[in-house]
Amino acid sequence: MNKPVLRLDWCTHEAAKYAVEHWHYSKRMPMPPIVRVGAWEDGSFIGCVLFARGANMNIGAPYRLAATEVAELVRVALTTHRAPVSRVMSIACKFLVRHSPGLRLLVSYADPAEGHHGGIYQACGWVYEGPSGEATQFLHEGRWKHQREVSAGAFGNPNTKRNWQSLPRRKMPGKHKYLLPLDDAMRTQIAPLAKPYPKKVQEPRVGKSSSGGTTTGEGGAIPTPTLQL
């Protein structure tokens, strides 16, 4: 069988939304701003890789980075395809970096609550920093949400923003945190943080690391430097 021909390019919000809602376990788009990289295999759209600032507004602080120097890989949403997920993700990261001057670090998380250990990040040589701290989620509109989403995010209504502290809450365990330094100085800085990769402990649910069916995890304008949308 011939090697599949992959093409990655910017994709529309509509295409990314379709991929996430049909091929990612979360079924939800991440909070904006979002950079959307679409993937095509042998001419057919197979999904997208999405980058954003993420839920943590201070994501770059531990590494002494400004908001424009770091981004989070927040979704890998792919339908059935032949190319390895790690290859699609790796090309998407390089594509983003090529069009984002000043970007120095990518961050992503694998959720053990979803059965994920970060196999695709390990395959791509990302640095494993260890588990993140536990997070608090709040029950709002029938769904558990991160604090940012109910307190100051784009999706909370005015009443929720004022009184979100009274919402039902729950603690969630930390996620596996992975880093991809993008220059020599950042690689040197990140190297001491590296820990042994976690092992797969159970069959993952459909999500970021699935390679067929529904996967975790539109020609639009090129984003201005690093998620300045």
Helices (H), the chain: 13-23, 85-98, 119-123, 147-151, 158-163, 184-190
Query: Is this prediction's pTM over 0.95?
Result: no
pLDDT tens digits along 76-86: 999 999 999 99
Residues 6+ apart with CB under 8 A from 192: none
pLDDT tens digits along 137-186: 888 888 877 776 777 654 555 556 667 788 888 887 789 999 999 999 99
Give me the pLDDT at residue 223, please. Answer: 35
- Buried b / exposed e over 136-166, threshold 16 CB at 10 Å, is ebbebeeebbbbbbbbebeebeeebeeebee
In the beta sheet, which residues pair with residue 140? 143
Measure CA 208 to chain center. 9
